[in-house]
Amino acid sequence: MESTPRLERVRLDAVTVRLGGRPVLCDVSLSFGAGEHVCVRGGNGSGKTTLLRLVAGALRPSRGTRSGPRACAYVPAALAPPVMTVVAWLREVRRERVDDPEAALARLGFEGDARASCRELSFGNLRKVLLADACTARTDVVAIDEVHVGLDHIGRTGLEELVARVRARGATVVVAAQDDDAVNDVDRSLVVCDRQVTEAGPAGDTVLHTLRGPRAGESALLDAAERLGFRVVDGDDR
């Protein structure tokens, strides 16, 4: 029996993105269905962040078209903390919600002071605020860059529960992850390499041990250098 096609949430048609005069993505065509969980992988500087920003509507393509909702929840890998309390952030930044953000924050294992300024939070607790905000917003698309960065075990488990709730209401979840970072319950994985985006194979393969394409070795070396603490000048598309 054939499965029923998912309602399409976001579509990219022949999209090209240039940043600083340099092509980051070229002629990319993709679609993302309602309730789908997609993991984007690739080396540092490959264009993962650019792809997520496109999907979330936070970046316009240089050429080609993006179809989908304008109001999407996007969680960047890092963010300068705003001058407001956690409570103010969760109650005022996004007014339309489908779930309680403070309950989501508790599920993520938040350990900071919700009455304190976001600037006083640790990086991990700030990430939990951003995730609680995004996963409880009334939106059809949630995009999370470096999905597990800054999260402890409780945070990872809580995020899995939140993602399941987001998908259950029909929203699409697109995340970016390093190649050695396991992401559970994905419907499919995408690999960004050489300015192209390709399907990575079976959904069950949640960790990609190798990248495809002629620059796979270069991407692996960039990853290794960054983990050792070296600063890669052109190793980031952000």
What confidence score (pLDDT) does residue 202 get? 53
pLDDT in tens, 130-151: 999 999 999 999 999 999 999 9
* Helix extents (H) in 84-215: 86-92, 101-107, 123-136, 153-168
Residue that wins the pLDDT comparison between 76 and 179: 76
Q: Do residues 193 and 165 touch, judged by C-beta distance below 8 A?
A: no
Residue that wins the pLDDT comparison between 4 and 78: 78
- Quickly state the pLDDT bin for 71 (edges 50, 70, 90): confident
Domains of the chain (ranges, CATH numbers):
8-47+59-227 (3.40.50.300)
Give 228's DSSP letter: T
Angle at 152 between CA 148 and CA 158, to 5 degrees: 75
What confidence score (pLDDT) does residue 5 get? 62
- Quickly state the pLDDT bin for 70 (edges 50, 70, 90): confident
Asked if pLDDT for residue 238 goes beyond 50, the answer is no
Lowest mean pLDDT among 59-68, 91-100, 226-235: 226-235
What confidence score (pLDDT) does residue 45 get? 86
Cα–Cα distances in angstroms (integers) from residue 127 to residues 29, 90, 111, 191, in the given order: 30, 13, 12, 24
pLDDT in tens, 186-233: 999 999 999 999 988 655 444 443 343 444 444 444 444 444 444 444
